[in-house]
Amino acid sequence: MKRKTLLLTLVGALVFFSAFKVVDKFFEIQKNLDIFTTLFREVNMYYVDEVNPNTLMKTGIESMLNSLDPYTNYIPEDDIEDYRTMHTGQYGGIGATVSTREGKSTIIMPYDGYPAHEAGLKIGDEIIKIDGIELKDKTNAQVSKLLKGLEVRSYGQVTTHEVTITRETIKIENVPYYGMVSQEVGYLQLTDFTNGASREVREAVEKLKEEGAKKIIIDLRGNPGGLLNEAVNICNLFINRDLEVVSTKGKIAEWNKSYKALNQPLDIDIPIAVLVNGRSASAAEIVSGVIQDYDRGVLIGQRSFGKGLVQTTRPLTYNSQLKVTTAKYYIPSGRCIQAIDYSKRKEDGSVIRNADSLKRAFKTKKSGRTVYDGVGLDPDIMMDAKKYAPITNSLRMKNLIFEYANEFALNHNTIAEAKKFSMSEADYQAFVKWLRTKEYDYTTEVEKTIKMLEEKAKDEKSYSVIEAQLKALKEKASHNKEAELQQFKAEIKELLEAEIVARYYLDKGQTEYNLQQDVEIKQAIEILSNMDKYNKILKGQK
């Protein structure tokens, strides 16, 4: 009897303290809301300059959400259309990428079959006005919301001309390119996970198989993710029905869910190579993680981004919305690839990626290979990310490669087909000559190191002792632009050729050109052409 009474007392105490904790939390919420409301009112009434309440509130909301993670966002009514574009892949526009460069709104890529291309707009054309509105110093977002009636200056021209163009509903393709890259290997580029992504992947694979593909490369490099259901349906194309694809777990237990492959697969046997890099995130990591966890294919490239968080959209008043992180996702091996714990911040508020030493080991479903959580996805074949020389990066950042491609197109009516185009030696030397009148500079790693040595020597009061040696070293290390244009000709020429191809064959032609140069594509073809090696990787054998 005493034991029963003691048990009831303990249970009662637990209930009391739990209830007290909930009440205490609600009190803290209400208290802080009252403080915020009164503070907001006082600032609006008494601040010395005029305050825009909308701007002030938006700044406060965004700062608050930024302290959580980068994916929890406030979406005001004015931005709902942009948010819808991210999920549907549709937007009202002219069908071209426009970027503000040095204060000029420049056409970067018109898309085949859409209004901009049909109206004759080309890469490098500058949009001066839209509906009579000057575009100078306007942001990309401001330009994209304007409608029709463009005043355009074609590249290389002084005068402007009018172009009448009507915005249409533009559907961004999730699979902008697919094609054969060898006699038996098909390739598809998946750049997004908006509505219809799984249908586009299915159609691409089916057409590639019709063309003779017996193996497939899926390129997820640079894919930032998107809709979870599209990722599940894409996985379903390559794994058996009823297998788990991903599960989600968060604070609200009723929202926790396991997503399974519900449909008949398209092909559970075709060998697959998946390309990933540091910008492959979220839904892209679900697809590549499922392929790896079921030993369904080989991952090639660099470690993925590491975003294992799930967002849910919640409606707010006045047609605004909150996109809030509500759960983490777990792929079939049981691992979560989230690489940053946003609840743990340094004193300055910054966050760091999880250390490799904190990784936990898991096993793949079929072969029992060891895979890890907490740092993104490690490819089965790790390759170094492509790095360019300082001079090459300088030419890219200064848009000089982009501009010279425009110059080249101005003086050449046609070029060879995208896959076969190559600049002649004379063409490249013409580019070198053109650069002599352009401003660009850069600092090499050696020059940076010498500068650090100088600063260190000054700090330690020893600069006067080694000043002469440092100056001599600096003179020897000082870069020579003309010499380095020849030294790094191969990589500069490759970037130039890709830009030039785009002037004649747009984005699809540029992709076809790049496929011929891509070392990761070549590695994937090599692996898929050697099934002994492919199978050994999937079995965890070296």
Which tokens sit at 502? Answer: 């785009």
What's 297's DSSP letter?
S
Neighbour-count burial of 137, counting CB atoms closer than 10 A to its CB (0-12 exposed, 13-18 middle, 19+ buried): exposed
Q: What is the mean pLDDT of residues 117-121?
A: 89
pLDDT band at 494 (very low <50, low <70, confident <90, very high): very high
Q: How many CA atoms within 13 Å lie on the side-chain side of 137?
A: 0
Contacts of 451 (CB under 8 A, 6+ apart): 443
CA dist., res. 12 & res. 16, Å (int): 6
Of 5-19, 203-217, 247-261, 342-356, least confident by mean pLDDT is 5-19
User: Residue 38: its pLDDT value, please?
Assistant: 94
Q: Which residues are bridge partners to 381 per DSSP?
A: 300
pTM of the model: 0.86
CA dist., res. 472 & res. 454, Å (int): 12
CATH class of the 90-171 domain in this structure: mainly beta
Of 33-42, 76-85, 173-182, which one has max mean pLDDT?
A: 173-182
Answer whether residue 388 shows pLDDT above 80: yes
Question: For the segment 140-169, what is each residue's pLDDT rounded down to a tens digit?
Answer: 666 665 545 678 888 888 888 888 887 788
With residues binned 3-state (H G I as helix, E B as strand, rest as coil), the percentages for the chain, rounded to 5, are: 45, 20, 35
Is 193 within 8 Å of 227 (Cβ atoms)?
yes
Answer whether residue 419 shows pLDDT above 60: yes
CATH topology of domain 184-385: 2-enoyl-CoA Hydratase; Chain A, domain 1 (3.90.226)
Of how many residues is the chain composed?
542
Domain ranges of the chain: 27-58, 90-171, 184-385, 390-442+480-526, 445-477
Burial 468-482 (b: 16+ CB within 10 A, else e): eebeebeeeeebeee
User: Residue 405: its pLDDT value, please?
Assistant: 97
User: Residue 454: its pLDDT value, please?
Assistant: 83
Of 80-89, 268-277, 381-390, least confident by mean pLDDT is 80-89
Q: What angle do CA 108, 113, 117 make, to 5 degrees?
A: 40
Is 331 within 8 Å of 371 (Cβ atoms)?
no
Find, among 160, 253, 312, 221, the residue nearest to 520 by Cα: 221
Q: Which residues are bridge partners to 247 per DSSP?
A: 258, 330
Task: Give the active site residues.
Answer: 282, 293, 307
State whether residue 335 is helix, strand or coil: coil
Q: What is the mean pLDDT of residues 181-198?
A: 97
Backbone angles phi, psi at 503, to 5 degrees: -70, -25
Find, among 315, 320, 324, 316, the residue nearest to 78 by Cα: 320
* Arithmetic mean of pLDDT over the chain: 89
